[in-house]
Amino acid sequence: MTMNKAVLNAAQQSQSIFTLLEGAANTWPDRPASSYQDKTLNWRETHRRCLAQATLFSRAGVGRGDRVAYLGFNSNVCFEGYFSPAAISAIFVPLNFRLAIGELIECIEDCAPRVLICEPGFLSHALSIVESCGCINAVFVTGGEEEFNALEQGGLPDSVSSLEKAIADCLATKDFVDVNPSVGEDTLILFYTGGTTGRSKGVMLSNKNFLCNTIGSIPLYKMQDGWRFLIVGPLFHIAAGARLFSCAALGGHAIILPKFDVPEVFESIAKYRINSATLVPTMFQMLMDHPQFPEADLSSMEMLASGAAPMPMSLQHRVIDAFKGINLYQTYGMTEAAPIVTSLDAKYHVVSGPGSEKLGSVGRPAPHVTLRIVDEDGDELASGETGEVLARGDNIMTGYWNLPEQSAEALRDGWYHTGDAGYLDADGFLFLEGRVKDMIVSGGENIYPIDIENVLSSHPAIHQCAVIGIPHETWGEAVHAVVLLEAGIEPAPSERELIDYCRERIATYKCPVSVSFRTEPMPLSPINKILKTELRKPFWEGRISSLV
């Protein structure tokens, strides 16, 4: 099937994401829109539920530019939240449920939502937030009637009510609020990002940003009309969330899992005949390591995208071999870019022959993105020279919420300064070297961890690795490797053996001078990135370092 462009064109003309939902409901009313916990809703039902929720928000005092927050795992309600506040020009704020209560309160105090939607399991957090923050007028709890009745028996404030009951009452009366959707540069969603090196920043993404990304990503990944998308990454993160707009533009079907669970992923792919999914490298590794993988039915899969973190070369080779017949893409992006910046096309996912030399890259800029590589003075660098990656396009955020100085710094001179280090080859392919702040300066040499990580990850005994800079009295910083070995490896490699392994493959000055062996899993962010800040802490505590 080819894409029906009318829905996307109408949304583009109106510059409104809510028009995208209306178009899907009018064009494919009976097609399934979402499936969550074995309940499927079509596009007509989804549109009507979003209108009902917008009506509830309006009655709770939500107006243009006000915020509606969501606290919980992935669900159909979170999916609907990507559209429903927009009907009344309000802003959706999907919260990171993994944050501590103090961190959640910081986010709430920052964005001051009038309404908080929460899952039953997060009600205690929601009540603590309401007690601490005076901005919230109403709390809507998701889940069925019996579940809410059980909660009521414990006593609830008058501001807390059942979302499903309220939606049902609104649908019964059909007394919907007048639609006045946000458009263009109006902020659609506020994503809180970071928090591992300081207070989280709210990234303001507009209708224009998301429409630009959606229009660019569909042909980039060769998505087709009616595709079935597995939504398994957390919806408080844009990598999973942006796919919901592609789904609406294609009249697709979003199969939503509360969180990543390997057996449930395999079961869902087979049951719903999933066509596409976006995963992070650790998810690929967990799928392939699982005993069910050899028997998993992946015959319906047409496209798999990897993003959010670099994929080591050894893992790339393994993925290419394991997922034969499925178009593989690697994506480089970030929340601030809504999220796509570059993509490595499926035809370059080969380990030998023409195109294989591009496998270590993250591909070329997406059609809607312009890239520059600059030095510390902002001067553009030639092909092959490493500097900071700058991006420009209609997908780039409007700024950080309540942080005008940080917004101006990030968007100075009309370019988004990514903080990532990399270079462009002669063909315009971007090769990443890591974060600018992760760069290790040892004895005057600039060393990028990804070079060493690619070498170490190719060692058969290493399951995971991360390279960091640690203090050195003479050189300023020294290269240190943190490794997690494969289970059951005998004999286990020594520190000296791993250092020598690197010395045989890369320049001596890049090689680790020390190695530490972990027995517990690597510390991971909510999107399964290794938290190097946590790995650095024991070495840098009490010192001035690159932790900030």
Set out the domains of the chain in order of their start, with CATH numbers. Answer: 43-202 (3.40.50.12780), 260-436 (3.40.50.12780), 439-540 (3.30.300.30)
Residue 2 has what pLDDT? 53
How long is the chain? 548
Q: What mean pLDDT is predicted for residues 297-307?
A: 95
Lowest mean pLDDT among 144-153, 231-240, 263-272, 470-479: 470-479
Q: What mean pLDDT is predicted for residues 119-137?
A: 95
pLDDT per residue over 520-542, tens digit each? 999 987 666 788 888 988 887 75
pLDDT per residue over 444-497, tens digit each? 677 878 889 989 999 999 999 999 999 887 777 899 999 999 988 889 999 999
> How many degrees, rounded to 5, is the angle at CA 377 between CA 374 and CA 380?
30
Residue 429 has what pLDDT? 97
Q: Which two tokens stand for residue 43?
A: 């596009």
At residue 400, does pLDDT exceed 70?
A: yes
At residue 1, does pLDDT exceed 60?
A: no
Residue 108 has what pLDDT? 96
What CA–CA distance (Å, rounded) separates 146 from 160? 15
Residue 197 has what pLDDT? 42
Half-sphere exposure of 212 (CA within 13 A, CB side): 23
Q: The tokens 């053996």 sit on which residue?
A: 497
Q: Above pLDDT 90, what percent of the chain?
A: 75
Q: What mean pLDDT is predicted for residues 396-403?
A: 97
At residue 214, does pLDDT exceed 80?
A: yes
Residue 547 has what pLDDT? 32
Q: What mean pLDDT is predicted for residues 207-233?
A: 96
At residue 543, does pLDDT exceed 60?
A: no
Question: The dihedral of CA 334, 339, 343, 345: what is its sign?
Answer: positive
Q: Peptide bond preceding 491: is omega within 30 degrees of 0, i.e. cis?
A: yes
Residue 195 has what pLDDT? 43
At residue 74, does pLDDT exceed 70?
A: yes
- Three-class SS of residue 106? helix
Residue 449 has what pLDDT? 86
What CA–CA distance (Å, rounded) separates 52 from 58? 10
Q: What mean pLDDT is predicted for residues 211-238?
A: 95
> How many degrees, rounded to 5, is the angle at CA 482 between CA 478 and CA 487?
155
Residue 54 has what pLDDT? 98
Burial degree of 334 (CB within 10 A; 0-12, 13-18, 19+): buried
Half-sphere exposure of 126 (CA within 13 A, CB side): 28
At residue 548, does pLDDT exceed 80?
A: no
pLDDT per residue over 136-178, tens digit each? 999 999 999 889 898 888 889 999 999 999 999 999 999 999 9
Q: What mean pLDDT is predicted for residues 186-209?
A: 84
At residue 131, does pLDDT exceed 90?
A: yes
- Three-class SS of residue 16? coil
Lowest mean pLDDT among 164-168, 183-187, 277-281, 294-298: 277-281
Q: What mean pLDDT is predicted for residues 304-322?
A: 87
Q: Which two tokens stand for residue 20?
A: 């995208």
At residue 256, does pLDDT exceed 90?
A: yes
Mean pLDDT over all residues of the chain?
91
Residues 6+ apart with CB under 8 A from 300: 228, 269, 270, 273, 274, 275
Q: Which two tokens stand for residue 215?
A: 């229009």
pLDDT per residue over 78-122, tens digit each? 999 999 999 999 999 999 888 888 889 999 999 999 999 999 999
Residue 440 has what pLDDT? 83
What CA–CA distance (Å, rounded) separates 257 from 260? 7
Q: Above pLDDT 70, what percent of the chain?
A: 96
| pLDDT band for position 545 (cuts 50, 70, 90) | very low
β partners of residue 387:
422
- Higher model confidence: residue 548 or residue 81? 81
Residue 531 has what pLDDT? 85
Specify whether the CB–CB gap between 386 and 438 falls below 8 A.
no
